Amino acid sequence: MTVFFTSDTHFGDPRVLTKDHRPFRTVAEHDEALIALWNEAVSDKDTIWHLGDFALHVTVERIVELLARLHGEKHLITGNNDGPDTVAAKGWKSVQAYAELHLEDKDLVLCHYAFRTWKNNAKGWIDLHGHSHGRLSHQTRQYDVGVDVWDYRPVTLETLRTTRRRQKSAS
């Protein structure tokens, strides 16, 4: 079993095609590509933490369909675009605004939003976040897990810690 992280999939949200310059012609193409890339990385035996902004402008039925199609045991850390239908949808193992996790001998703080400072920052804890779509400058032990940073795929903690992330220019 492997643990993955992602955020800001924005399934169903046409704004990401232009605002975030995602390389898809339509929302349907965007959604299908993100599902395929998720399922290439994540197996049904894996765990995935989605750090917010799962879907927007879709029905509860579409949210349930998306969750059923996506591999892994799914946990949601709520984001600013996660409405009541997303939060209540069948398919999440857990839903919360914040979590702390011990993984690979590291302690993690999970939230949709990046922190300027976080619990036990000085003791080596790691902050994983979304929301910024790769637009924040790098800070030690802080990682944006958003799809815009990681080629639209979920990532592992090892990948986060050992791979130079793609930095977007501020827009």
Q: For 95-111, write each residue's pLDDT tens digit.
A: 999 999 999 999 999 99
Q: Is the pLDDT of residue 10 over 60?
A: yes
CA-closest candidate to residue 108, choices 121, 89, 95, 97: 121
The reported pLDDT for the residue numbered 165 is: 60
Q: Do residues 153 and 36 make contact, with C-beta atoms less than 8 angstroms apart?
A: no
CA distance 79 to 93: 16
The reported pLDDT for the residue numbered 134 is: 87
Query: Within 10 Å of residue 91's Cβ, how many Cβ atoms?
Result: 15
Give the tens place of pLDDT for each residue, 32-50: 999 999 999 999 999 999 9
Dihedrals phi, psi of 87, to nearest 5 degrees: -60, -40
The stretch 57-79 carries a mean pLDDT of 97
Q: Do residues 20 and 133 make contact, with C-beta atoms less than 8 angstroms apart?
A: yes
Q: Is the pLDDT of residue 159 over 70?
A: yes
DSSP line for 53-88: --B-S--HHHHHHHHHHS-SEEEEE--TT--HHHHH
The reported pLDDT for the residue numbered 169 is: 42
Confidence bin at 171 (pLDDT 50/70/90) = very low
Of 55-59, 75-79, 135-139, which one has max mean pLDDT?
Answer: 75-79
Residues ≥6 apart with Cβ < 8 Å to 148: 8, 20, 22, 133, 134, 168
More confident residue, 166 or 17: 17
Q: Architecture of 3-162 per CATH?
A: 4-Layer Sandwich (3.60)
Q: What is the mean pLDDT of the chain?
A: 94
Match 């897990």 to its residue by tokens.
Answer: 145
Residue ranges per domain, the chain?
A: 3-162
Q: Is the pLDDT of residue 74 over 50?
A: yes
The reported pLDDT for the residue numbered 96 is: 98
Q: Is the pLDDT of residue 170 over 90?
A: no
